[in-house]
Amino acid sequence: MISFSKKNRIFIQVFLILFLSGVTPGIAGETYKWVDKNGKVHFSDHSPDNMASKPDIIQQIEDVETEDTVTIAGNEPDAESPNPIEHTAESTFTIKGSSTVGTGFFISPNGYAVTCKHVIEEKGRHVAVLHNQQEYPIGIISESDEYDLALILVSTFQRTPYLELRDPFSMKPGEKVYAVGSSAGFQSTITDGLFTGMRKQMPTEQRALQFSAPVNPGNSGGPLIDENGKVIGAVSWKLLSNNGVPVTGIGFAVPSDYILDEYRGYITVK
């Protein structure tokens, strides 16, 4: 196995993030990255004005010479996980706003992640609480104009575990599914149920995946996965009542093919 020094791994990680963001990094010196008050991600090869007064600075990467290895956030995504459900939990994180809680999940080793748009609509700063309980700022990269989806960047400057997508049309009614998220504020809660099928939402006629795994406030934006840990959708909403009669066991997720349509260029395929 090839082993990278801390200097090389940091440079490669920063280069990948900047390249995917359309920014060309400097060859040497320092790289600064921060999120402004509107959640927009900024990159620069020089410090922001009045850096000491900037509370939104995320991280400063120096061109250090040490040969120590880089600490990895969570488990190595490339390492074979003994349990795909456990790997899903490690690739999922809590999104905390000033008064809201939701969930997101990584789709690349560079910190890019998906959540539901309504999770990050609250004004103000959002942070990600990873599986290892470390907190990092979130930058909002894109909000879908068509679907309840958003692309975000969790600024860890470390390799992140990530999930792969599965074609939702390959699912059969009765297949077991798992919803992973911050259900009722409890991080990495895992609930199981069955896949029912595709439903059309009126009046847009957008498709949604129906499933029976229990979900609660805080699950929104979390992954709905199959038994192999492949994402078939992002948990979006559930039916609470029908004509005043309480309803349970009917949840809906934004299908993974919509995620692929919106954010194809950011998704890493193993």
Active site amino acids:
118, 148, 220
Only one residue has tokens 């409890």, namely 186
C-alpha 235/C-alpha 252 separation (Å) is: 6
Q: Find residue 197's DSSP bridge partners.
A: 210
Contacts of 213 (CB under 8 A, 6+ apart): 177, 178, 179, 191, 192, 193, 194, 224, 251
The tokens describing 117, both together, are 């748009």
C-alpha 236/C-alpha 219 separation (Å) is: 8
Q: Residue 259: is it exposed, middle or buried by C-beta count within 10 angstroms (0-12/13-18/19+)?
A: buried
The alpha carbon of residue 2 and the mean position of all alpha carbons in its chain are separated, in whole angstroms, by: 28
Count the Cβ atoms, other than its own, within 10 Å of residue 106.
Answer: 28
C-alpha 136/C-alpha 150 separation (Å) is: 17
Angle at 35 between CA 68 and CA 115, to 5 degrees: 90
The H or E element that residue 260 is part of is helix 256-263
The DSSP annotation for 206-232 comes to EEEEEE-S---TT-TT-EEE-TTS-EE
